[in-house]
Chain A
Amino acid sequence: MLKKLFPLLAVLAVTAALCVAILDTGEAGVIPFWMCIPFAGLLLSIAIFPVVCPHWWERSQPAVVALWSLLFLIPYAGRMGFGGAVETVLDCIVNDYLTFIVLLFGLFCVSGNITLEGDLAGSPRVNVVLLLLGTLMSSCVGTTGASMLMVRPMIKMNAWRKRRRHIMVFFIFLISNIGGCLTPIGDPPLLMGFTRGVPFFWSLRLFPVMALNTAVLLFIFFWVDMRNYRKDIAQGRKPDISKPGTEIHIRGLHNLVFLVMIVAAVILSGTLPTLPAFQNAEGQVLGIHIFGEVTLTFPAMIEIAIILLATLLSFKTTDVSVRKSNHFTWGAIQEVAVLFIGIFITMQPALMLLKTYGASLGITTAFQMFWATGALSSFLDNTPTYLVFFTVAAAEGLSGVATSLGQIPVQMLMAISCGAVFMGANTYIGNAPNFMVKAISDENGILMPSFFGYLLWSLTCLVPVFLLDALIFFR
């Protein structure tokens, strides 16, 4: 049904968008709120279509993404001019999406070349240890790196169990998000803070917040996992432990070197732009001019080159059987690449509105900063969201941590950082690894919750923890 109707609906929608663009008499250069509708539409598509018509959605993702992107771009071009629209799209693709997807691609490929073989059985105790390990690792290799590295061993160890979705949900909460708050390597917003003068080890101040969140969430997880573990056992499921003693082999371990290369590339992308050698006389970062004010900077090119080199070397030096054992496919990265280009494009008006009105929102306390940054980071890219509130806080003129934009009170900066890093866990689209973990789990026999199902998990497990954070640390 939808297969037949979609082209017709698409033509109608694009025609309507053209009419809006022609009839729109609003002030040029000003972004109206209704331009956020395509972003909301894309999010709803991601939420509803996989449940209502999964097969159609799987085939039609690129078309749906293109449609919503056009529905934003046509009225936007009507108001900003064709050149303005092209510049916005190129800016978003070249400066944000390109490095984002290349990093994800690199980590996905390199971690796919490391496989854990053995007969360690997934139990609540083992799962808690693995989640804790992954959470701590996130700050060292980034949330994406830790997620990609840990997701397959986690799936493999729990393969004997039927009820596994909660494991992957808490995996996303802890490893893909909360664990990344201790260093600028952990999550991109903190890297942005670092490039704007926040000391490298300043984020370690967030340890008490992370420790509280991790402890509470692991406690909840253990309880939930134990209930499900008991149900699995009661139904006669059991791991294969026929051989005495545990054998664990890691194949492709040399890929850790390439993982370190990628982490180094991320750090370089944050530090190189601040060096005079990469700046012109006006202090702008040097690079290849593409269109309008869009430039592909040299530090970004270096980052991309290092990541792609690491990926190539990883593939060349690892036996194909390792990838086969890992059930390595391109499906997960392909899905993320397609959906996130649409998300990056359609969320531009929301980000522009945030930049325009962020300072006038009247957000002045750490409590407000935590929730505002967090709520927006749940749906928007958390890096620009962090930067907007970072700038707002710096403009307040209060004393605190010295940054290139001004001083920010410690508690305020902690609230912005925690909001941006932690609350990416609220939705599948809040942070890139969330969707990757979901996609990989889907491909390996785990029935993950739908978009709204996941939201329910975060509302019941995460939001109360964040409320606790707000009351204890940001009041």
Chain B
Amino acid sequence: MEYDKKKLEEIAGRIYDLDAEVYRVLGSGLGRVFNGSRESTIRDLVRIMLDQPKVHYLRSELALIGNMARTITSKADRSRVMTEYNNILKLLDNMPTNFAIDILDQHAAELNSSRLSGRFAEGQHLIVCIGRTYGCAGTDIGFALADKLKINYYDSEIFAEVLERLEAEQDEVCDRASFAHHQNLNQSLGIDKDRTLRERIREFNRYHGLPKEDAIFFNQSDLICEMAKKEDFIIMGRCADVILTNHHIPHVSIFINAPFELRARRVMETDNLTYKGACKLLKRLDRRHRAYYEFYTGRKWGTSVNYDLCINSASYGIDGSVQLIERVINQHAR
């Protein structure tokens, strides 16, 4: 049997459907094996199948579905589900051992999702995720780019929308994902102090027992994915590049940086600080920014391999950077 990408997607789809069917028949409220959406789960499963050393993992996952299926009380349902389970198991057992190589040889270009060229299919929205360090003029570049491409620019607007969703108030919670204004750093340090037990319980209830930063991040993730289905936009920070990658939503990821010395001089001007104060602020913001990004993405902030394009804004200036990004998008991504 020839195992091409379509065949793998079919097997993955059957595994997902089997899990959903078992869960439906059981009527359990304790969770299922694959919790994600059908589309993203199928993509993940196909990726696992392509990665031969990990195929044993897929069998373990299937065994978990089998464990649940065996507890179905209705004989007819159990028999139907177990037949499908056994059929899928046979398909997995029959997979070639040099499977990954076969597939990649045949469809390498098609399957290589890291390529920028042809990333956006017909009808898909252009989303540009910009990560930047404080003081490198990343925000100005983002604004100018949005203006040039005539698409929306989002940063703190996302946070305001999230607050609305959570029915939270601005003074209760700060925008920890925003590193555009250094005031946020100072706000966040003091916000958790002097809360009464009642307030803590209310917060626990409001954020589903999660730390509020995490609850906000999860809501932000949902919001960004929803927006990505509706419009073209530029989004500043908020780990949007990784959020969209995890949801298999095409986007262009850019990281903008500048030499520390030049960033410090810019911050001295914009924030009216001494050189020493600017350096101190930048170090603190970089540390927090790095920690935030790494906490929620598991990736190293600013590492070039994580982005489509990394720019030293000091080399090109604001306008030059905008032109560079625009050229890359127009020539390669669209």
A-B contact count (CB 8 A): 132
**Which residues 27-75 in B have Cβ within 8 Å of A in the complex?**
27-33, 35-36, 40, 60-61, 63-65, 67-68, 70-71, 73
Q: For the complex, give the distance between the alpha carbons of A443 and B65 in Å.
A: 8
CB nearest to A151 among chain B residues: B30
**Which residues 3-23 in A have Cβ within 8 Å of B in the complex?**
none
**Which residues 199-243 in B have Cβ within 8 Å of A in the complex?**
204-211, 214-215, 217-219, 221-222, 242-243
Q: Which of B61, B71, B166, B168 contacts A327 (CB 8 A)?
A: B71
Q: Which of B68, B208, B210, B214 contacts A445 (CB 8 A)?
A: B68
Q: For the complex, give the distance between the alpha carbons of A327 and B24 in Å.
A: 11
CB nearest to A117 among chain B residues: B29
B107 cross-chain contacts in A, Cβ below 8 A: none
Q: Which of B3-11, B131-139, B143-151, B293-301 contacts A (4 or more CB under 8 A)?
A: B293-301
Given contacts A236-B40, A241-B207, whether A325 and B166 have CB atoms under 8 Å apart is no
CB nearest to A321 among chain B residues: B27
B215 cross-chain contacts in A, Cβ below 8 A: 241
CB nearest to B297 among chain A residues: A234
CB of B167 within 8 Å of the partner chain: yes
CB of A354 within 8 Å of the partner chain: no
Q: For the complex, give the distance between the alpha carbons of A444 and B73 in Å.
A: 15
CB nearest to B33 among chain A residues: A445
B221 cross-chain contacts in A, Cβ below 8 A: 236, 238
Complex contact A234–B242 (CB within 8 A): yes
A446 cross-chain contacts in B, Cβ below 8 A: 64
CB of B246 within 8 Å of the partner chain: yes
CB nearest to A330 among chain B residues: B71
Q: Which of A120, A231, A244 contacts B209 (CB 8 A)?
A: A120
Complex contact B296–A234 (CB within 8 A): yes
CB of A95 within 8 Å of the partner chain: no
CB nearest to A227 among chain B residues: B298
Complex contact A241–B297 (CB within 8 A): no
Complex contact B30–A121 (CB within 8 A): no
B210 cross-chain contacts in A, Cβ below 8 A: 121, 123, 125-126, 239, 241
CB of B268 within 8 Å of the partner chain: no
Total A residues in contact with B, Cβ cutoff 8 Å: 46
Q: For the complex, give the distance between the alpha carbons of A235 and B40 in Å.
A: 11
Total B residues in contact with A, Cβ cutoff 8 Å: 50
A126 cross-chain contacts in B, Cβ below 8 A: 209-210
A79 cross-chain contacts in B, Cβ below 8 A: none
CB of B26 within 8 Å of the partner chain: yes
Complex contact A241–B218 (CB within 8 A): yes
Q: For the complex, give the distance between the alpha carbons of A117 and B243 in Å.
A: 29
Shortest CB distance B87–A (Å): 15
Complex contact B206–A444 (CB within 8 A): no
CB nearest to A58 among chain B residues: B70
Q: For the complex, give the distance between the alpha carbons of A329 and B296 in Å.
A: 37
Shortest CB distance A163–B (Å): 12
Interface 0/1 of A125-165, CB less than 8 Å to B: 11000000000000000000000000010011111101000
Complex contact B298–A234 (CB within 8 A): yes
Given contacts A326-B28, A327-B28, whether A242 and B243 have CB atoms under 8 Å apart is no
Give residues in A with beta carbon < 8 Å to B: 54, 58, 115, 117, 119-123, 125-126, 152, 155-160, 162, 230-231, 233-239, 241-242, 244-246, 321, 324-327, 329, 331, 442-447
Closest 8 CB pairs of A and B: A159-B31, A236-B246, A234-B298, A327-B28, A329-B71, A244-B167, A325-B29, A126-B209
21 A-B residue pairs with Cβ-Cβ distance under 8 Å, sorted by A, are: A54-B63, A125-B210, A125-B211, A126-B209, A155-B31, A158-B31, A230-B296, A234-B298, A235-B298, A236-B221, A236-B246, A241-B208, A242-B219, A244-B168, A326-B28, A329-B71, A331-B71, A445-B31, A446-B64, A447-B61, A447-B63
Give residues in B with beta carbon < 8 Å to A: 26-33, 35-36, 40, 60-61, 63-65, 67-68, 70-71, 73, 165-168, 204-211, 214-215, 217-219, 221-222, 242-243, 245-247, 295-299
Known: A244-B165, A445-B67. 18 other contacts (CB 8 A): A54-B63, A122-B209, A123-B210, A123-B214, A156-B30, A156-B31, A157-B209, A159-B30, A233-B214, A236-B246, A237-B35, A241-B219, A245-B167, A246-B204, A324-B28, A442-B64, A445-B30, A445-B68
